[in-house]
Amino acid sequence: MNNITRSGFDESHEKGLQAERIVLEIIRRTYPKAFMISGNVPGSDIFVPETKKLVEVKHDLKSLETGNYFIEFEMFTKRSGLMLTYADYWVIFDGQSVVWIKPDEIKNIIIWHGLKARRFDVDGVTDSARAFLIPREMIQDVGMVYKIEEI
């Protein structure tokens, strides 16, 4: 990666970690033993020992502008995101709210609505990612939505 790309990656990674910390604190209100996973389980960020559940946190501030959640499933021709997750729940954080949803429910939305995958450029590489742009309301109608100020 060049310096510009690396800088963008680092900034995005840090925002993702901040979202994970916020979600972890929310979970710890009910399940105090919950902790962040450090790269051992693909597609999972938080483990909740009390329930034996894995949680993946997705940071998507841009969804507030676009009206769509970015749901990745392939990166550099390898499975990723939705196709790689082991998480029992995904929590999508947009800075204003969190949406709790099961990955299978996201897959059902894609199938039920006949959504088409799109290609995206990542790190300056053309067509390096494939993802679905899912309207926020489709996911929020199925998931549990909590406004940040309510939590």
| pTM (two decimals) | 0.84
CATH (domain of 80): 3.40.1350.10
Within 10 Å of residue 42's Cβ, how many Cβ atoms?
13
Over the stretch 7-17, which tens digit does the pLDDT of each residue have? Answer: 444 556 677 78
Q: Work out how many domains the chain is built from and give that number.
A: 1
4 pLDDT above the threshold of 90? no
Q: To the nearest whole number, what is the mean pLDDT of the chain?
A: 88
Over the stretch 41-86, which tens digit does the pLDDT of each residue have? Answer: 677 899 999 999 999 999 999 999 999 999 999 988 898 899 989 9
Cβ-Cβ contacts under 8 Å for 17 (sequence gap 6 or more): none
Domain that holds residue 60: 3-150
Over the stretch 28-52, which tens digit does the pLDDT of each residue have? Answer: 999 999 999 986 567 789 999 999 9
